[in-house]
Amino acid sequence: MIKPIQNALKIPELRKRIIFTIMLLVVYRLGAHITLPGIDDAALEDFFNQLMERTGNVLALINIFSGGAFGQMTIFALGIQPYITAAIIMQMLPMIIPALEKLSKEPDGRKKITQYTRYGTVLLSIIQGITISILLRNPGALFGDSTGNIVDPNATIWWHALVVITLTAGTAFVMWLGEQITERGIGQGISIIITVGIMAAFPSGVVTVIRSLVQDTGFGLINLTGLLALIVIAVAGTIFIHLSVRKIPIQYGRQIRGGKVFGGRSMHLPLRVNAAGMIPIIFAVYLMTFPSFIIGIMPQDWTWVIGLTNLMDPTNPSLLYLAIYALLIIGFTYFYTAVQINPVQMAEDLQKNGGFIPGLRPGKQTADYINTTLTRITLPGALFLAGIAVIPIAITSWLGVGGMVEGASVLIVVGVVLDTVSQIESYLTMRHYDGFLKDRRLKGRRGR
């Protein structure tokens, strides 16, 4: 492991990208500790604890994904959540609005949709900022007089405006950091920012789980060992499905130019079993937290609210809850794979470069074959992804140590780390260095 890291630092471009990424992540973590103006920390902690009791792991998940910024009400309290929500909406709208579907197929269409996603992020941040500022000034609207004043009750409209502007600017800045990491750093910026937020909460999360498992439940070392084994299985399964590919044979025809023969080689078109990565789990988790959060802040003395609370409680999930969560992951896996991979475009590129799949005509027949193959291999990938996300929730819930937070967090971190390592690996391979995932065939070629 030490040698690949040394090799990575030997490549100037890769070294600059790694340093650039680290610097931006440091800026993000510093901003996650700058509190909003006029906040009473003690009253905020009391309010946050009461809100946690009402919403369970939902609020804990939002707090973890923001790197703890939400619980401390810092300038990055909203984190990247508004951007993810806007991205989900903008990826679904082309299926409903024909004009957006047409726009997405144009050469610069994706750039315009990305710009619309940014506008949607700002709009959602403003709405959420207004809601948060009202709750901070009036915590009694949810819990009566059981909490102190988080801010000065005589705060003017200018304080509300300052909070909304600060939270919106914070989200926009985090979004910009993610885009800069994607373009000039290493890995997918938004996913890395989420991962850093999760990893920042890992130490306290591990202590909480161990205390809950050993002290509160009294299960002791046996169940702790079982939980660790479950985590190892989930991580191993994530790595297996993430690295699995279906190789479609590609043949390039021979061409004679200037007395030289070009082409005539055989290659493979690799289709990943899980081309969507961990994005479906991130989308599904956010969608599952929203209704649970809304139900949690509603009056709990209403009979139907109590029924919904029990039904949508992530700490004690019902079969319906787990089924909805699994279906969302499967649906988002197919959806995001369709967004990321265009079989028609792949078939056209093959035809332009003189490549073809043996036994198939170039063009539509090739595109249909790629689309059918992609649909088939995505199913086991989606089912496996849903399984390793849902099963830990059920088991850890049974053990009484929570579920969605720990399970989804571990899977997201593993997936993002694998994506980042794969990108570093590509730089090392191009320059004939041994990487993290050593290729024996490449080393064999060098020996010859």
For the chain, give every domain's residue range: 1-190, 201-402
CA dihedral over 341, 352, 366, 271, signed as positive or negative: negative
Residue where the block lists tokens 């929500």? 85
Annotation: CATH topology of 201-402: Preprotein translocase SecY subunit (1.10.3370)
pLDDT tens by residue, 356-393: 888 888 888 888 888 899 989 999 888 888 887 787 77
Q: What own/partner pairs with CB < 8 Å and gap ≥ 24 does 225-228 have?
A: 226/399, 227/396, 227/399, 227/401
pLDDT at 206 over 60: yes
Quickly state the pLDDT bin for 440 (edges 50, 70, 90): very low
> pLDDT value at position 170?
92
Q: In terms of Cα–Cα distance, which of 188, 151, 191 is closest to 283?
A: 191
Average of per-residue pLDDT values in the chain: 76
Find the DSSP H helices in 185-252: 189-200, 202-211, 221-243
pLDDT tens by residue, 278-288: 778 777 877 77
Q: Do domains 1-190 and 201-402 have the same CATH topology?
A: yes
- Cβ neighbours of residue 443 under 8 Å, at least 6 residues apart? 434
CB contact burial 308-340 (16+ within 10 A = b; e otherwise): bbeebbbbebeeebbebbbebbbebbbbbbbee
> pLDDT value at position 315?
59
CB atoms closer than 10 angstroms to residue 229: 10
Mean pLDDT of 14-39: 89
Mean pLDDT of 126-155: 73
Pick the CATH number of 1-190 from 3.30.465.10, 3.40.50.620, 1.10.10.10, 1.10.3370.10: 1.10.3370.10
Quickly state the pLDDT bin for 24 (edges 50, 70, 90): very high
Cα-Cα-Cα-Cα torsion 317, 318, 323, 325, nearest 10 degrees, comes to -30
Looking at 14-28, 197-211, 329-343, 409-423, which range is the least confident one? 197-211
> pLDDT value at position 119?
92
> pLDDT value at position 39?
83
**3 state DSSP class of 376:** helix
Do the Cβ atoms of 266 and 247 come closer than 8 Å? no
